[in-house]
Amino acid sequence: MKLKSKADGFEFEAYHVEPADARRGGLVLIQEIFGVTPGIKRLADGFAEAGYEVLAPHMFDRCEPGYSVERRPEAFAKGVEYLQKVGFERALGDVQACIDALEPPVFMTGFCYGGSLSWLAASRCTGLTAAAAYYGGSIKDFLADTPKIPIILHFGKRDTHITEEHRAAIADAHPDVPIYLYDADHGFYSDDRPDYRVEPAALSKLRTLQLFHQAASGKVEV
C-alpha cells in the first residue's frame, strides 16, 4: 500500500493486512531498524488475526526502498545510519499518514526503534487512541514529551541496551505511565530473534490488546 508523508510529501510503501473477521480497529506497527522484515510482517499478521487492520510502514524508503535485512553487525550500522538520515520529524510524518489512512479507533505499537517512535507519536501525532511501546531505547531522550493518549511500555529485565537507570528515569518523569518488566532480553517479542521468549511475548501481547480494548471502550484515560 502506498502512502504520502504528512511531513514532506514523500511517497512510501506500507505492509497492509486486514482482519479476516470482525474489525476491532486500525493499528500502526513500526519496525525495528532492520526494516519491514518477514518477522515484522508475521507480527502484523498476528495482530490482524486479533481483529486489527494493520499498516507497517517502510520507514527507510527514503534511503533504500523496501529495506529489509537480517540481523548482522553491518546491517545494524546501516539501520542506524538510515534512522539518522530520516530523522524523527519526517518519520512522524509517515506515522501520521498511516493514522489518517485507517478508520478509527487507531492504535500504535512498535519495537526498538518503533517503540521509541510510538512514544513520540503518542505525544505529537493526532488521531491515536492508545499505544504500546516495546523496548524503545530512545524514550529516555524524549522525557520532555508527554503522551496525550494511554500508553504502556514493555521492557526486558536483562536488556543491556535499556538499563535499570534508563527505566527509572522514565518512571520518575512519567509516574503514571505503566512500565511492564519481563524476565527476558531486548527483543523478546520477535520470534525471529535469538532472544525471543514465548511467555513474555504472550503476556505482553495480552496486556497490549487489553489496553487497546479498554481504551476503545473509554475505560482508560490519560
Q: What is the pLDDT of residue 166?
A: 95
pLDDT-derived band at 76 (thresholds 50, 70, 90) equals confident
The average pLDDT across 48-69 equals 97
14 and 98 Cβ atoms separated by less than 8 Å: yes
Q: What is the pLDDT of residue 81?
A: 95
Q: What is the pLDDT of residue 74?
A: 80
3-state secondary structure 135-174: CCCCHHHHCCCCCCCCEEEEEECCCCCCCHHHHHHHHHHC
Q: What is the pLDDT of residue 6?
A: 87
DSSP 177: S
Which grid coordinates belong to 67?
A: 529495506
The average pLDDT across 89-111 equals 97
pLDDT-derived band at 195 (thresholds 50, 70, 90) equals confident
- Residue 107 has φ and ψ, to the nearest 5°, of -120, 175
Q: Are strands 52-57 and 130-134 parallel, antiparallel or unpaired?
A: unpaired
The average pLDDT across 40-63 equals 97
The average pLDDT across 18-44 equals 96
Who wins on pLDDT, 75 or 177?
Answer: 177
pTM across the whole model: 0.96
Q: What is the pLDDT of residue 192?
A: 82
- pLDDT digits over 167-178, tens only? 999 999 999 999
Beta strand spans in the chain (E): 2-4, 11-17, 25-30, 52-57, 106-111, 130-134, 151-156, 179-182
Mean pLDDT, the chain, as a whole number? Answer: 95
- Residue 217 has φ and ψ, to the nearest 5°, of -85, -5
pLDDT-derived band at 135 (thresholds 50, 70, 90) equals very high
* Strands, sheet with 106-111, edge to edge from the N-terminal-most edge strand: 2-4, 11-17, 52-57, 25-30, 106-111, 130-134, 151-156, 179-182
Q: What is the pLDDT of residue 22?
A: 93
For residue 222, pLDDT beyond 80: no
CA distance 80 to 5: 21
For the chain, what percent of residues have pLDDT higher than 70?
Answer: 99
The average pLDDT across 65-69 equals 95
* Structural domains of the chain in order of their starting residue, each with its CATH number: 2-216 (3.40.50.1820)
For residue 206, pLDDT beyond 80: yes
